[in-house]
Amino acid sequence: MSAILDYLFELFVLIVLGKLVNAAVRRFFGGNSVRFGFPGQSGRPAQPRPAQEPPKTVEGKTVRDPVCGMFVSTELSHRLNTHAGVLHFCSEECLESYRKNASQ
């Protein structure tokens, strides 16, 4: 049993050393020029990703959440219609907290 554990430990050490040497060689020769065939690596340079659309901006007015004080867009907020007007909340938790405190 001890021989098997010794073998597994030596195998582990060799794998770790191999990865360290691989990283050092790649750094020395400039990035992706050296590949040793690990899974997911093909030896070819990575293809550029297609351009992604920039995230859509939210337009409109921002108001302050009455519970936590965070500014939130009136388009994305959780709303509560009251006799005084519409209140805007950043999350469902803030809305529920307001309802709970208002009913007390």
DSSP string, 44-101: SPPPPPPPPPPPPPP-S-EEE-TTT--EEETTTSEEEEETTEEEEESSHHHHHHHHHH
pTM: 0.45
Return the biggest CA–CA distance within the chain: 80
Task: Give residue for tokens 């790649």.
Answer: 26
Condensed to tens digits (0 to 9), the pLDDT of residues 4-54 reads 888 899 999 999 999 999 888 888 887 654 455 555 555 566 667 777 877
Question: How many C-beta atoms surround the C-beta of residue 85 within 10 A?
Answer: 7
